[in-house]
């Protein structure tokens, strides 16, 4: 006999915490383009989970969460790269490859400016993380180690199932809506603790405000009217 697949039932409403962050500068390199300095227009879910893990001090945070992000500006910077010799040779310069051997080089680095990130954290785990954000265990960074992010507000909210909401810059599954301006981005949903395994997922994201739209399998933040998709790990 074939086993029946039981689909999880989404509750009509969910209590959650809405956490807002701001970063003056952030950079998210697209690892699907090795050797090229191509940047993502928003932080991937794996980066957001790393931010939350830094707040709680846990190895990782795997709760479902909603994400919305945008940047008010962007640019390209010149950055110096120093490749390290894999065999540990050239100790005079701490294992760095000599310039004549394919070593030090200058590359363009795309970056985002005035980055706004909103994260919805449901349930008991959401409350635990919300409390941790008041006194983070480690420094909060968004992207690279020098890109400090600032928590702004952490607010309790109610999420209700909906078929219509403001999509704007919310990260959604590929079947979440049909907004014409949305673009599919393939990003890391999760990176294993040993960093040997990356889980990739396709997401929809809009670079411009959308207004109220038809949505599928979404919740609505009752205070802001924003669509929220609780993305699994």
Q: pTM here?
A: 0.86
The arithmetic mean of pLDDT across residues 47-62, rounded, is 96
Whether 146 has a pLDDT exceeding 80, the answer reads: yes
pLDDT for position 153 = 95
Mind listing the pLDDT tens digit for each residue in 100-125? 555 667 777 888 999 999 999 999 99
Whether 7 has a pLDDT exceeding 50, the answer reads: no
The arithmetic mean of pLDDT across residues 181-198, rounded, is 92
**Residue in the structure block whose two tokens are 């907004």:** 179
The arithmetic mean of pLDDT across residues 148-169, rounded, is 96
* Domains of the chain, first to last: 15-30+41-72+113-228 (3.30.70.3120)
Decide which of 8 and 129 is more confident: 129
Rounded mean pLDDT of the chain? 88
Whether 97 has a pLDDT exceeding 90, the answer reads: no
Which letter, b or e, does each residue of 172-202 get, where b requires 16 or more Cβ atoms within 10 Å of its Cβ? bbeebbebeebeebebbbbbeeeeeeeeebe
- Report the percentage of the chain scoring pLDDT > 90: 68
233 vs 217: CA distance, rounded Å: 17
The arithmetic mean of pLDDT across residues 122-148, rounded, is 93
pLDDT for position 178 = 95
């Amino acid at each position: 006999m074939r086993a029946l697949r039981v689909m999880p039932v989404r509750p009509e409403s969910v209590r959650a915490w809405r956490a807002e962050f701001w970063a003056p500068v952030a950079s998210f390199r697209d690892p699907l383009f090795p050797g090229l300095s191509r940047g993502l227009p928003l932080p991937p879910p794996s980066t957001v989970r790393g931010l939350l893990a830094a707040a709680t001090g846990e190895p990782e945070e795997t709760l479902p969460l909603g994400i919305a992000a945008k940047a008010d500006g962007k640019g390209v910077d010149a950055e110096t790269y120093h490749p390290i010799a894999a065999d540990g040779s050239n100790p005079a310069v701490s294992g760095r490859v000599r310039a004549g051997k394919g070593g030090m080089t200058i590359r363009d680095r795309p970056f985002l400016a005035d980055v706004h990130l909103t994260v919805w954290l449901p349930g008991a785990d959401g409350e635990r993380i919300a409390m941790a954000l008041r006194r983070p265990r480690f420094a909060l960074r968004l992207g690279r180690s020098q890109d400090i992010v600032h928590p702004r507000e952490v607010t309790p909210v109610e999420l209700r199932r909906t078929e219509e909401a403001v999509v704007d810059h919310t990260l959604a599954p590929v079947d979440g809506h049909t907004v014409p301006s949305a673009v599919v981005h393939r990003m890391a949903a999760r990176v294993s603790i040993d960093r040997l395994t990356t889980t990739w997922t396709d997401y929809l994201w809009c670079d411009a405000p959308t207004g109220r739209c038809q949505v599928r399998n979404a919740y609505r933040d009752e205070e802001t009217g924003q669509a929220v998709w609780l993305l699994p790990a």
